[in-house]
């Protein structure tokens, strides 16, 4: 063995990095065969031998171990083993009195004895413990304690060495886990008293009512307190929280500052609007049909010297677990971005972040969780790190973990997304606070997600009316005998001499008094009729807005959209296609995507920001859009919409991941938080939007009625029967129509590019008005470039969006018209083409219903008045009878039909599948439908 060389020139210097084990292993190989190691390493070993660890004492220890490199290597491996597997021996389950795998970390596993370790220097174990331990045995004991205590860590999966070193360094240095001051300990105890007393008060006062008590994971509140205060200290201006039912009332009361009396009032009767404090510290909105109390959100402003220091938002949430996650991430992205300048918005991830609180059954069970985690590092969606908390009560309803997931931990999914995970025993408030500090520090440093698995239990049944002893007797026998965290922590503080039983008692009584006083202030339920009607602004529909744009401006914008920097080489074929747009204005050849680009340009000039995402949306699924150009040589991108003269707002366009529910939820959230922004989500084909059905049902269509949550989101859903089979034809128009009521959204199925231009502009102009609502567009596919769907300059510069469009050239002799054909979308163009073959066109007319909801009753009635001899109103559609618009329009047409006028259906018969798989069968059906439409 080469003797250790401690001379100052030694290039190993004070080497004692975590890789010492590896270096030693290399050195062993080198001794066996010098040629088997990396040449650079060989050179070092040739000249200097193996690294020395420290001078003096360290050196002596290594010298003592000289000749025993194998042991040193084993000790180093042993230390890494503790880091990797310490979590398996941790004390993280409050219901377990004994550690499950107490011997897992024994040194015997590595053929080491205590004497061996005592003989080695501490630096063999960790470079993060300089001078703290006099030998490896002490260091190992320390590592065992910190890696398998009441917080455990899973960092091995982290892919970047720098992050991993930081994380392990943090744990081993204990920087995030300082001893709390006695004042802080007392404050935490007081907080736990508030948490527990509040639940107990509800339990006693509102017997048998659901509240989804927090008890068992009470430390969620100090955890949130700490994350919020640490990050606000670090400059965060906005925190958005998403969570389900569990502990929500407690979070509302104690984190969001919702007055107790408001919560109590909601237990007795509907939300009481009079109780909203007027000083503006709380923003709460109500819909007209409302929601249960444990779904309601809130907005809190943290004030300091009359100025807002930070804003905390708890998002409104439906029962559907975890679906709020992408919505909240959308809020955060919106809060981080400055949209007031052309180009992509400027993002500042330190301004804002999301906290998502998950259930231990829902986190592994709901696919939207994985989709949302996948957004976390993508250019168009990342928010610089979300802090995830699993409020883990080890049960979901009545289902225990072994039936709930195939993974050891509820959190395991997060590991695939390079997210550090800590598990913490919810009965140890100090460990919980330490975990939250680590999360905040990590996010601030690496701008990535972090997960805290807060492991507690659930004191009662799923809700307070459930009896868990019937289904989970063993677990609940333990829980019934388990003291509350307030009791446990109180005992600890009393042992430390920080708290006396009298003070603890006083704290509890003070909180109870506060609760009682608040309860006494709750007004009695009012007898008068509860108003469930939408407000006037909603009933009135969309106000008239001017969507015209002067011709000269359109011409100028058109040219600007065809400019790119000198030397920027667009793919030649594409360049030729785009340049055709130059003459299209004069030639009445403005196609769909062209009209869209012009609409966007005019909207940006008016200072309204735009955000458009979807799968392949930069180019467009049908190669129609091309709003992001690529230089064929450098691969660089350029978007002309970022450079239009006079542009006053940002234009964000992103190809989304192959997800629907998370992306649509994100865009909805973005738009709710940034209502001034025209946000569009595009489905690849409209069919796929049903993967996002929960967001459509629970948020977009009903959010305003439930929560007063306004949105002007646009959904572009390619729709139309072109023989592409069951999955590329139908956007399921019927579903949007069945959800349509109370002016909750606009559903349009248009046939002309100018209509698209005007409806986009109309939407942009109503974004900040009370009447705003989402816009669902059945977007075209074959109509994208169809000559009959193209428009001319005047169609854009003048006019507006028309809810109905008569077929030009028909009805010249009004008294002869017997049949009125009504239709919507692509079939109208098929009918228009078919017209060419028909000789006698005098007996019918065609009216295209471009806006299906709100249904244009007045416009159709006015049109009908011009044709007094109409005997039949024929609804023609290409979708099967049980789909498309038929079931929605039939009763409305019956209202419009005068005596003696029949309402008739022409289209496919009812089907279980949307469309034929065989193109030939499709063609035959289309032909038949067109034929029937024109058969007397």
Ligand X SMILES: Cc1ncc(C[n+]2csc(CCOP(=O)(O)OP(=O)(O)O)c2C)c(N)n1
Considering beta carbons, is residue 320 or 892 the nearer one to ligand X? 320
- Which of 395-403, 577-585, 716-724, 812-820 is the region at the interface with ligand X (rule: CB under 6 A)? 395-403
String of contacts with ligand X for each residue 57-86, x by CB under 6 A: ------------------------------
In the beta sheet, which residues pair with residue 254? none
Output the smallest distance, CB 398 to ligand X, in A.
9
Q: Should residue 927 be labelled a site residue for ligand X when binding is judged by CB under 6 A?
A: no
**Alpha helices (H) along 614-686:** 661-673
- Which of 358-366, 501-509, 527-535, 774-782 is the region at the interface with ligand X (rule: CB under 6 A)? 358-366
Q: Should residue 396 be labelled a site residue for ligand X when binding is judged by CB under 6 A?
A: yes
Output the smallest distance, CB 49 to ligand X, in A.
56
- Which of 392-400, 732-740, 776-784, 881-889 is the region at the interface with ligand X (rule: CB under 6 A)? 392-400
Q: How far apart are CA 851 and CA 733, in angstroms?
A: 12
In the beta sheet, which residues pair with residue 848? 805, 823
- Which of 159-167, 357-365, 510-518, 596-604 is the region at the interface with ligand X (rule: CB under 6 A)? 357-365
What would you measure as the largest C-alpha separation in the chain, in angstroms?
113
- Which of 33-41, 355-363, 614-622, 750-758 is the region at the interface with ligand X (rule: CB under 6 A)? 355-363
Considering beta carbons, is residue 391 or 561 the nearer one to ligand X? 391
Q: How far apart are CA 332 and CA 328, in angstroms?
A: 6
Q: Should residue 398 be labelled a site residue for ligand X when binding is judged by CB under 6 A?
A: no
Considering beta carbons, is residue 16 or 462 the nearer one to ligand X? 462
Considering beta carbons, is residue 324 or 705 the nearer one to ligand X? 324
- Which of 317-325, 642-650, 831-839, 906-914 is the region at the interface with ligand X (rule: CB under 6 A)? 317-325
Number of residues that bind ligand X (CB under 6 A): 16
What are the distances in angstroms from CA 654 to CA 605, 612, 614, 663, 680? Answer: 21, 7, 7, 11, 11
Q: Should residue 364 be labelled a site residue for ligand X when binding is judged by CB under 6 A?
A: no
Q: Should residue 388 be labelled a site residue for ligand X when binding is judged by CB under 6 A?
A: no
Q: Residue from 193, 231, 354, 393 that binds ligand X (CB under 6 A)?
A: 393
Q: CA 512: distance to chain centroid?
A: 38
Output the smallest distance, CB 396 to ligand X, in A.
3
Output the smallest distance, CB 360 to ligand X, in A.
4
* Strand locations in 305-456 (E): 307-314, 337-338, 346-347, 352-359, 387-392, 395-396, 399-400, 421-425, 450-455
Q: Should residue 239 be labelled a site residue for ligand X when binding is judged by CB under 6 A?
A: no
Q: Should residue 319 be labelled a site residue for ligand X when binding is judged by CB under 6 A?
A: yes
> Token match 């001017």: residue?
546
C-beta of residue 379 within 8 angstroms of C-beta of residue 332: no
What are the distances in angstroms from CA 283 to CA 305, 501, 669, 873? Answer: 19, 39, 17, 50
Considering beta carbons, is residue 296 or 361 the nearer one to ligand X? 361
Q: Residue from 191, 246, 254, 293 that binds ligand X (CB under 6 A)?
A: 246
Q: How far apart are CA 690 and CA 734, in angstroms?
A: 12
Output the smallest distance, CB 393 to ligand X, in A.
5
- Which of 316-324, 417-425, 781-789, 863-871 is the region at the interface with ligand X (rule: CB under 6 A)? 316-324
Considering beta carbons, is residue 243 or 903 the nearer one to ligand X? 243
Q: How far apart are CA 777 and CA 686, in angstroms?
A: 10
What are the distances in angstroms from CA 856 to CA 713, 737, 852, 896? Answer: 22, 14, 7, 11
Output the smallest distance, CB 333 to ligand X, in A.
24
Considering beta carbons, is residue 62 or 324 the nearer one to ligand X? 324
Output the smallest distance, CB 369 to ligand X, in A.
10
Considering beta carbons, is residue 695 or 716 the nearer one to ligand X? 695
Considering beta carbons, is residue 394 or 561 the nearer one to ligand X? 394
Q: What is the DSSP string of 588-627?
A: T-B-HHHHHHHHHHHHHHTT--EEEEETTTTT-TTS----
Q: Should residue 395 be labelled a site residue for ligand X when binding is judged by CB under 6 A?
A: yes
Output the smallest distance, CB 322 to ligand X, in A.
7
Q: Should residue 158 be labelled a site residue for ligand X when binding is judged by CB under 6 A?
A: no
DSSP code, position 570:
B
- Number of helices and strands (H, E) in the chain? 33, 27
Q: Residue from 286, 397, 417, 564 that binds ligand X (CB under 6 A)?
A: 397
Backbone phi and psi for residue 26, each to the nearest 5 degrees, phi listed first: -65, -40
Output the smallest distance, CB 286 to ligand X, in A.
22
Q: Residue from 320, 491, 551, 818 that binds ligand X (CB under 6 A)?
A: 320
Q: How far apart are CA 412 and CA 400, in angstroms?
A: 17
Work out the angle at residue 360's Cα, subtended by the Cα atoms of residues 355 and 481, and round it to the nearest 5 degrees. 115
Buried-exposed string 200-235: b where 16+ CB fall within 10 A, e elsewhere: bbbbeeeeeebbbbbbbbbbbbbbbbbbbebbbeee
Q: Should residue 361 be labelled a site residue for ligand X when binding is judged by CB under 6 A?
A: yes
Considering beta carbons, is residue 246 or 781 the nearer one to ligand X? 246
Residues sharing a CB contact under 8 Å with residue 550, sequence separation 6 or more, in sequence order: 797
Considering beta carbons, is residue 144 or 462 the nearer one to ligand X? 462
C-beta of residue 417 within 8 angstroms of C-beta of residue 446: no
What are the distances in angstroms from CA 370 to CA 349, 377, 453, 688? Answer: 22, 13, 16, 18
Q: Should residue 456 be labelled a site residue for ligand X when binding is judged by CB under 6 A?
A: no
Q: Should residue 359 be labelled a site residue for ligand X when binding is judged by CB under 6 A?
A: yes
C-beta of residue 876 within 8 angstroms of C-beta of residue 831: yes
Considering beta carbons, is residue 478 or 887 the nearer one to ligand X? 478
Q: How far apart are CA 147 and CA 501, in angstroms?
A: 33
Q: Residue from 62, 214, 296, 362 that binds ligand X (CB under 6 A)?
A: 362
Output the smallest distance, CB 661 to ligand X, in A.
11
Q: Should residue 360 be labelled a site residue for ligand X when binding is judged by CB under 6 A?
A: yes
Q: What is the rounded end-to-end Cα distance, in angstroms, of the chain?
A: 105
DSSP code, position 110:
G
- Which of 22-30, 90-98, 388-396, 896-904 is the region at the interface with ligand X (rule: CB under 6 A)? 388-396
**Composition of the chain by helix, strand, coil, percent to 5:** 45, 15, 45
Edge to edge, the sheet with strand 775-779 lists 651-655, 610-614, 678-682, 714-718, 775-779, 746-748, 851-853
Considering beta carbons, is residue 246 or 611 the nearer one to ligand X? 246
Which residues contribute to the site for ligand X (CB under 6 A)? 246, 319-321, 359-362, 366, 391, 393, 395-397, 458, 462
């Amino acid at each position: 063995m080469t003797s250790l060389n401690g001379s100052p020139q030694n290039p190993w210097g004070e080497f004692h990095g975590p890789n010492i084990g590896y270096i030693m292993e290399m050195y062993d190989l080198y001794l066996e065969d010098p040629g088997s190691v990396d040449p650079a390493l060989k050179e070092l070993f040739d000249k200097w031998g193996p690294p020395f660890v420290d001078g003096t004492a360290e050196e002596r220890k290594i010298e003592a171990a000289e000749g025993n490199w194998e042991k040193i290597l084993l000790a180093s491996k042993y230390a890494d083993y503790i880091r990797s597997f310490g979590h398996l021996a941790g004390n993280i389950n409050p219901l377990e009195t004994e550690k499950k795998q107490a011997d897992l970390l024994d040194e015997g596993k590595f053929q080491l004895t205590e004497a061996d370790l005592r003989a080695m220097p501490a630096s063999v174990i960790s470079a993060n413990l300089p001078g703290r331990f006099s030998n490896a045995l002490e260091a190992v004991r320390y590592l065992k304690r910190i890696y398998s205590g009441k917080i455990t860590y899973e960092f091995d999966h982290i892919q970047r060495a720098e992050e991993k070193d930081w994380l392990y360094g943090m744990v081993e240095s204990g920087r995030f886990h300082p001893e709390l001051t006695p004042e802080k300990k007392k404050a935490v105890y007081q907080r736990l008293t508030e948490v527990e007393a509040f639940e107990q008060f509800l339990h006693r006062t509102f017997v048998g009512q659901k509240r989804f008590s927090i008890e068992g994971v009470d430390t969620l509140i100090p955890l949130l307190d700490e994350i919020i205060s640490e990050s606000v200290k670090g400059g965060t201006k906005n925190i958005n929280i998403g969570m389900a039912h569990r502990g929500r009332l407690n979070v509302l009361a104690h984190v969001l500052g919702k007055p107790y009396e408001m919560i109590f009032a909601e237990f007795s009767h509907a939300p009481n609007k009079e109780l909203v404090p007027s000083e503006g510290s709380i923003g709460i909105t109500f819909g007209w049909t409302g929601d249960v109390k444990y779904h309601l959100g809130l907005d809190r402003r943290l004030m300091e010297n009359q100025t807002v220091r930070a804003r905390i938002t708890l998002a409104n949430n439906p029962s559907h677990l975890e679906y709020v996650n992408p919505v909240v991430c959308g809020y955060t992205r919106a809060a981080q971005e400055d949209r007031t300048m052309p180009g992509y918005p400027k993002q500042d991830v330190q301004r804002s972040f999301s906290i998502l609180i998950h259930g231990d059954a829902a986190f592994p069970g709901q696919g939207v969780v994985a989709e949302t985690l996948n957004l976390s590092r993508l250019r168009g969606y990342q928010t610089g790190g979300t802090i995830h908390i699993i409020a883990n009560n080890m049960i979901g309803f009545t289902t225990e973990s072994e039936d709930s997931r195939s993974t050891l931990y509820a959190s395991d999914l997060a590991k695939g997304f390079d997210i550090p995970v800590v598990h913490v025993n919810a009965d140890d408030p100090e460990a919980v606070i330490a975990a939250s500090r680590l999360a905040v520090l990590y996010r601030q440093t690496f701008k990535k997600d972090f997960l805290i698995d807060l492991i507690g239990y659930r004191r009662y049944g799923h809700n307070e009316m459930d009896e868990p002893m019937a289904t989970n007797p063993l677990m609940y026998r333990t829980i019934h005998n388990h003291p509350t965290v307030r009791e446990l922590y109180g005992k600890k503080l009393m042992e430390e001499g920080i708290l006396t039983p009298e003070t603890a008692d006083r704290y509890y009584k003070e909180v109870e008094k506060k609760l009682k006083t608040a309860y006494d202030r709750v007004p009695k339920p009012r007898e008068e009729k509860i108003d469930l009607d939408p407000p006037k602004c909603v009933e009135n529909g969309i106000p008239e807005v001017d969507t015209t744009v002067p011709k000269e401006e359109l011409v100028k914008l058109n040219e600007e959209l065809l400019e790119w920097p000198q030397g920027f080489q667009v793919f030649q074929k594409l360049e030729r296609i785009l340049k055709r747009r130059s003459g299209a204005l004069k030639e009445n050849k403005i196609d769909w995507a062209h009209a869209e680009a012009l609409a966007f340009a005019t909207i940006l000039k008016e200072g309204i920001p735009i955000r458009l995402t979807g799968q392949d949306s930069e180019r467009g699924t049908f190669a129609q859009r091309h709003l992001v150009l690529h230089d064929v040589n450098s691969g660089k991108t350029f978007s002309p919409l970022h450079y239009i003269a006079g542009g006053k707002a940002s234009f964000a366009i992103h190809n989304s991941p192959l997800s629907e529910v998370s992306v649509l939820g994100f865009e909805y959230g973005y738009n709710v938080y940034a209502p001034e922004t025209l946000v569009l989500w595009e489905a690849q084909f409209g069919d796929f939007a049903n993967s996002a059905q929960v967001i459509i049902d629970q948020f977009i269509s009903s959010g305003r009625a439930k929560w007063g949550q306004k949105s002007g989101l646009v959904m572009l859903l390619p729709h139309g029967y072109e023989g592409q089979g069951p999955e590329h034809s139908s956007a399921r128009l019927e579903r949007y129509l069945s959800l349509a009521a109370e002016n909750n959204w606009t559903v349009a199925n248009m046939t002309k590019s100018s209509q698209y231009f005007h409806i986009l502009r109309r939407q942009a102009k109503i974004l900040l008005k009370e009447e705003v609502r989402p816009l669902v567009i059945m977007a075209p596919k074959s109509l994208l470039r169809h000559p009959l769907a193209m428009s001319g300059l005047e169609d854009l510069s003048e006019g507006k969006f028309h809810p109905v469009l008569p077929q030009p050239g028909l009805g010249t002799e009004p008294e002869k018209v017997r049949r009125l054909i009504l239709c919507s979308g692509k079939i109208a163009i098929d009918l228009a083409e078919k017209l060419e073959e028909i000789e006698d066109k005098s007996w019918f007319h065609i009216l295209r219903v471009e806006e299906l909801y709100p249904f244009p009753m007045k416009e159709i009635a006015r049109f009908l008045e011009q044709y007094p001899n109409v005997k039949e109103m024929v609804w023609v559609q290409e979708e099967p009878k049980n789909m498309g618009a038929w079931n929605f329009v039939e009763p409305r047409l019956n209202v419009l039909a005068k005596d003696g006028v029949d309402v008739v259906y022409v289209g496919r018969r009812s089907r279980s599948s949307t469309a034929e798989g065989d193109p030939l069968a499709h063609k035959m059906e289309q032909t038949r439908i067109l034929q029937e439409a024109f058969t007397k």
